Amino acid sequence: MKETMLTLIQHYGYTAVFVFMMLGIIGLPLPVEFILIFAGSIVAASKLHIVWLILIAWLGVLAGMIVNYGLGRTIGIKPISKITKYVHLHEDKLNRLAIRFQKASAVFIVIGYFVAGLRHASPFLAGASGMPFKKFAFYAMAGGLLWISGFTFLGQKIGHHWHSMMKWLHHPIVILVIGGILLLAYLLKHRVLSTNSHVPKVR
C-alpha cells in the first residue's frame, strides 16, 4: 500500500498529497507522517516546492479536521458510541474523555496531531462538546502547520538518505524501541479512559 501511495504522489503531486492527508485525518489507516516525510524527501528531485507542499498538505489536513468536527457536532457521542463500544470505548468513557477535552482543548488538538488515533478523535470531540468553531479552527490550523512543517522539513533533510532510513527503521532494536513506546502510549491511554471519576454526560 505504501508503494502505491508513493507512486501516486510522484505522479499526481500536490493533488495526491491533499487527498491522502484529508483521508488520513478523517480516519482511514494511512501512514500520514510517512507520506509527509517522503514528499519532503523528493522535493529536490521533483517539481514539488516545499512551501506549496506544506500549504497543500495543511489544507488537506484542515479539510479532514473540519469533516470530523462537523460529524461530532451533528452526530454527537451517544450515536457514535454504538460503534466505538466494540473497541471498548463505551458512552461513559467517551463522555469522560469529552470532559477532559473541554478542560484542555488546545492541548488535545495541537498535541493530538502527533498521536495516532487522537488526531482523528480530537476534532470529533471538539464538535461533540460544543467547542466554538473559531476556537477549534485556530488550534487546528496552528497545530496542523507545526506538525506538517516538522515532518516535511525532516523529509527534505533526509533527501537521498530515504532508503537508508527505511532500512534503519526495520532494524530489530529500533522495532523493539518503537514497540515499547507504542505499548507505553496504549497503557497511558487505557489509564485515562478507565478512570472512575464521575462526570456529567456531554450529550
Q: Which three cell numbers stand for residue 99?
A: 470532559
Q: What is the pLDDT of residue 199?
A: 45
Segment 31-42 mean pLDDT: 79
Segment 26-55 mean pLDDT: 79
- pTM of structure: 0.72
> Alpha-carbon torsion 35, 37, 41, 47, what sign?
positive
Quickly state the pLDDT bin for 159 (edges 50, 70, 90). low
Quickly state the pLDDT bin for 198 (edges 50, 70, 90). very low
In angstroms, the CA 30 to CA 20 distance is 7
DSSP of 33-60, one letter per residue?
A: HHHHHHHHHTSTTSS--HHHHHHHHHHH
Q: What is the CA 7 to chain-centroid distance, rounded?
A: 22
At residue 122, φ and ψ (nearest 5 deg) are: -60, -45
In a 3-state reduction of DSSP, which class is residue 75?
A: helix
In a 3-state reduction of DSSP, which class is residue 191?
A: helix
